[in-house]
């Protein structure tokens, strides 16, 4: 009986030894069952450059040919389409039953009835590239690139309230007081302050009521194309040090005191351009030209992890232009669209891949994530709805974690002890057997 026990102990020791040396040998792979399910896809007839916006069960999205679509978010059926004017449309913003959108080519802001698509009003700012609008407290804020400035319009009528110009007292002519170059940064409005970046490398804060500049901070090198993110009294913004096609330079992430404009920290990451930072749970997430998604400590900028999503999260689609995807973070998952035609889902805490899904066309806009569904617009002229409610959000596709030295030493010691005890039992059994003969 003792001999059987000792043999069983040895087999248990061998099993434990093999398990500790390869702790993930039987780990479940997220390939297969963890993939999202395609609920529907809808053809919109032209390249989709805007990010989708989902409000009250309806998805709104713009296309390069100037057509805006409203689609049932549950089944993909067309609710309405509207072509208010020519030119690439920005990401729609929906507020109080109205869809606000910038026509980039014509330099016009449109307000459409959210139920019918009928034009409520339109306002041409100037023949200039416009940023996507921001709507707060009955005011529409939009930036202009060619002439550089922020314009504030009344949301109900489109009437101009103010812009960032002033009459120069010395020369008696209109002068841009800020910024001194183009604005490609969608304004962010928090607590009555308008934050935006400029190609001149500065990030600005304007008082929305007095229309006075509160502060500006120079990023030294590069341009600020991204929309600032303001949370817990800190402004987070990305800076593009772009040297030209084929020489993307580097990118920086800045953390700025929202009240004073004082620099808190900055760090250099991958080359960046239009990627907006996303701040969730004390972590800053941002994607770059080199295909990396970064997670940074929001307090000090220290890197927590980075992950390379396919070939590129952002890549040069044609000479002189780059496309980007701002991450979306929902329920512990980072969703990133890529120009390699994939949607990626990463574990937000550790950065490993949960799943990826190929839609069949390059994606140069951020996804929308609502009620367990990821919505994606593609350059192939289609919009996709992926259900992720049943997809795994905890198991890495290919585990890369290795056993720690402490764990390995503990395993070896445990094996040695078990084998030693087994041998002592076996020897005692033999000695007892010999004495009884």
Q: Which pLDDT score is estimated for 28? A: 28
Tell me how crowded residue 371 is: count the other CB atoms within 10 A of its CB. 10
Most confident of 69-78, 334-343, 356-365, 403-412: 69-78
Residue 57 buriedness (CB in 10 A; 0-12 / 13-18 / 19+):
exposed
Tens of pLDDT, residue by residue over 2-11, are 444 444 444 4
Confidence of residue 430 (pLDDT cuts 50, 70, 90): low
Range scoring the smallest mean pLDDT among 28-42, 136-150, 343-357, 381-395: 28-42
Choose between 16 and 106: higher pLDDT. 106
Mean pLDDT, residues 23-49 taken together: 65
Mean pLDDT, residues 400-429 taken together: 46
Tell me how crowded residue 399 is: count the other CB atoms within 10 A of its CB. 15
3-state DSSP of the chain: CHHHHHHHHHHHHHHHHHHHHCCCCCCCCCCCCCCCEEEEEEECCCCCCCCCEEECCEEEEECCCCCEEEEECCCCCEEEEECCCCCCECCCEEECCEEEEEECCCCEEEEEECCCCCEEEEEECCCCCECCCEEECCEEEEEECCCCEEEEEECCCCCEEEECEEECCCCCCEEECCCCCCCCCCCEEECCEEEEECCCCEEEEEECCCCCEEEEEECCCCECCCCCEEECCEEEEEEEECCCCCCCCEEEEEEEECCCCCEEEEEEECCCCCCCCEEECCEEEEECCCCEEEEEECCCCCEEEEEECCCCCCCEEECCEECCCCCEEECCEEEEECCCCEEEEEECCCCCEEEEEECCCCCCCCCEEECCEEEEECCCCEEEEEECCCCCCCCCCCCCCCCCHHHHHHHHHHHHHHHHHHHHHHHHHHHHHHHCC
Percent of the chain whose pLDDT exceeds 90: 42
Strand partners, 164: none
Confidence of residue 339 (pLDDT cuts 50, 70, 90): confident
pLDDT above 50 for 412: no
Q: Which pLDDT score is estimated for 284? A: 96
Q: Which pLDDT score is estimated for 394? A: 42
pLDDT above 80 for 273: no
Q: Which pLDDT score is estimated for 424? A: 57
Q: Which pLDDT score is estimated for 309? A: 74
Q: What separation, in Å, do the N-terminal and C-terminal C-alpha atoms of the chain show? A: 18
Tens of pLDDT, residue by residue over 292-303, are 899 999 999 999
pTM above 0.85, yes or no: no
Confidence of residue 201 (pLDDT cuts 50, 70, 90): confident
Q: Which pLDDT score is estimated for 172? A: 40
Confidence of residue 338 (pLDDT cuts 50, 70, 90): confident
Q: Which pLDDT score is estimated for 238? A: 87
Q: Which pLDDT score is estimated for 291? A: 75
Q: Which pLDDT score is estimated for 239? A: 84
Q: How far apart are CA 95 and CA 17, in angstroms?
A: 61
Q: Which pLDDT score is estimated for 317? A: 39
Q: Which pLDDT score is estimated for 17? A: 39
Q: With left for phi above 0 and alpha for psi between -120 and 50, is residue 15 left, alpha or beta? A: alpha
Per the CB < 8 A criterion, the answer to whether 199 and 225 are in contact is: yes
Q: How far is CA 167 from CA 142, 143, 163, 171, 216, in A?
A: 21, 20, 12, 8, 20
Tens of pLDDT, residue by residue over 137-148, are 999 999 887 767
Mean pLDDT, residues 409-431 taken together: 52
Angle at which helix 405-435 crosses helix 2-21, to 10 degrees, equals 170
Q: How far apart are CA 247 and CA 42, in angstroms?
A: 37
Q: Which pLDDT score is estimated for 294? A: 92
Tens of pLDDT, residue by residue over 44-58, are 877 887 889 999 999
pLDDT above 80 for 171: no
Confidence of residue 88 (pLDDT cuts 50, 70, 90): confident
Q: How far apart are CA 189 and CA 235, in angstroms?
A: 11
Q: Which pLDDT score is estimated for 423? A: 58
Confidence of residue 274 (pLDDT cuts 50, 70, 90): low
Strand partners, 147: none
Most confident of 26-35, 220-229, 244-253: 220-229
Tens of pLDDT, residue by residue over 213-230, are 899 998 766 788 888 999
Range scoring the smallest mean pLDDT among 260-269, 275-284, 300-309, 420-429: 420-429
């Amino acid at each position: 009986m003792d001999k059987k026990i000792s043999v069983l102990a040895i087999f248990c020791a061998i099993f434990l030894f093999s398990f500790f040396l390869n702790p993930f040998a039987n780990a479940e792979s997220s390939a297969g069952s963890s993939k999202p399910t395609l609920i529907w896809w809808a053809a919109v007839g032209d390249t989709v450059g805007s990010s989708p916006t989902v409000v009250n069960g309806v998805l709104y999205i713009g296309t390069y040919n100037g057509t805006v679509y409203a689609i049932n978010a549950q089944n993909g059926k067309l609710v309405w389409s509207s072509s208010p004017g020519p030119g690439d449309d920005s990401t729609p913003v929906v507020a109080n039953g109205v869809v606000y959108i910038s026509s980039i080519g014509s330099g016009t802001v449109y307000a459409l009835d959210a139920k019918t698509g009928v034009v409520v009003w339109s306002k041409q700012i100037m023949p200039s590239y416009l940023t996507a609008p921001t709507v707060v407290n009955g005011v529409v804020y939009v930036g202009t690139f060619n002439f550089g400035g922020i314009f504030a319009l009344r949301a109900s009528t489109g009437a101009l309230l103010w812009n960032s110009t002033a009459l120069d007292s010395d020369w008696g002519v209109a002068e841009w007081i800020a910024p001194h170059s183009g604005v490609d940064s969608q304004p962010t409005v928090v607590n009555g302050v308008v934050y935006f970046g400029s190609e001149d490398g500065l990030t600005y804060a304007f008082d929305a009521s007095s229309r006075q500049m509160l502060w500006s901070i120079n990023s030294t090198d590069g341009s600020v194309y991204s929309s600032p993110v303001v949370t817990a009294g800190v402004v987070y913004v990305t800076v593009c040090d772009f040297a030209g096609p084929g020489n993307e330079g580097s990118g920086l992430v800045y953390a700025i005191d929202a009240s004073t404009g004082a620099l808190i920290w900055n760090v250099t990451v991958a080359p960046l351009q239009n990627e907006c930072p996303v701040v969730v749970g004390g972590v800053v997430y941002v994607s770059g030209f080199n295909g990396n998604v970064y997670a940074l400590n929001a307090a000090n900028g220290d890197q927590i992890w980075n992950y390379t999503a396919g070939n590129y999260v952002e890549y040069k689609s044609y000479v002189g232009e780059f496309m980007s995807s701002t991450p979306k973070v929902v329920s512990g998952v980072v969703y990133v669209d890529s120009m390699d035609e994939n949607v990626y889902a990463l574990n937000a805490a550790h950065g490993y891949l949960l799943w990826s899904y190929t839609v069949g066309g390059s994606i140069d806009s951020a996804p929308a994530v609502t009620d367990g569904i990821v919505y994606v617009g593609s350059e192939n002229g289609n919009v996709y709805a992926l259900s992720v409610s049943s997809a795994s959000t905890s198991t890495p596709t290919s585990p890369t974690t290795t056993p720690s030295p402490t764990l390995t030493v503990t395993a070896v010691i445990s094996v040695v002890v078990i084998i030693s005890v087994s041998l002592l039992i076996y020897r005692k059994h033999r000695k007892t057997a010999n004495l009884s003969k």
